[in-house]
Copies of this chain bind each other. A is one copy, B any other.
Amino acid sequence: MRTVRLKLVTIIAEALLQDRLLDDIKRLGARGYSVGDVSGEGSRGVRASDWEGRNVRIESVVSAPVADAILEHLSARYFPSFAVIAWVADVDVARGDKYV
């Protein structure tokens, strides 16, 4: 099977941020996304404040430059003020042209 290597970006954030985050990642180039509900715990915010409770788990398959732009944006606009974490992984997809 011929596949294309792309990036899977996963973002965990408080549910209140969902619409804003989805707008942002679409503007930065994401062509689609999935959102699931998760609960969680961690110390990721400013002043190491704990967060605990209902969160959303957003994932989107994007090109490497878009993944980078999303991480840059999260770092600049969300990490200083909000309990948001994100990671990027390599994935192989069929129909790679649909994602870029």
Q: Main SS of chain A's interface residues?
A: strand
By a CB distance below 8 angstroms, the chain B residues around A91 are 10, 87-89
By a CB distance below 8 angstroms, the chain B residues around A89 are 8, 89-92
Q: How far is the CA of A94 from the CA of B77 in the complex (A)?
A: 13
By a CB distance below 8 angstroms, the chain B residues around A3 are 71, 88
**Contact status B94-A86, CB under 8 Å:** yes
Q: How far is the CA of A6 from the CA of B87 in the complex (A)?
A: 9
Q: How far is the CA of A55 from the CA of B95 in the complex (A)?
A: 20
Binding site for B on A (CB under 8 A): 1, 3, 6, 8, 10, 12, 22, 31-44, 55, 57, 61, 68, 71-72, 74-75, 79, 85-95, 98
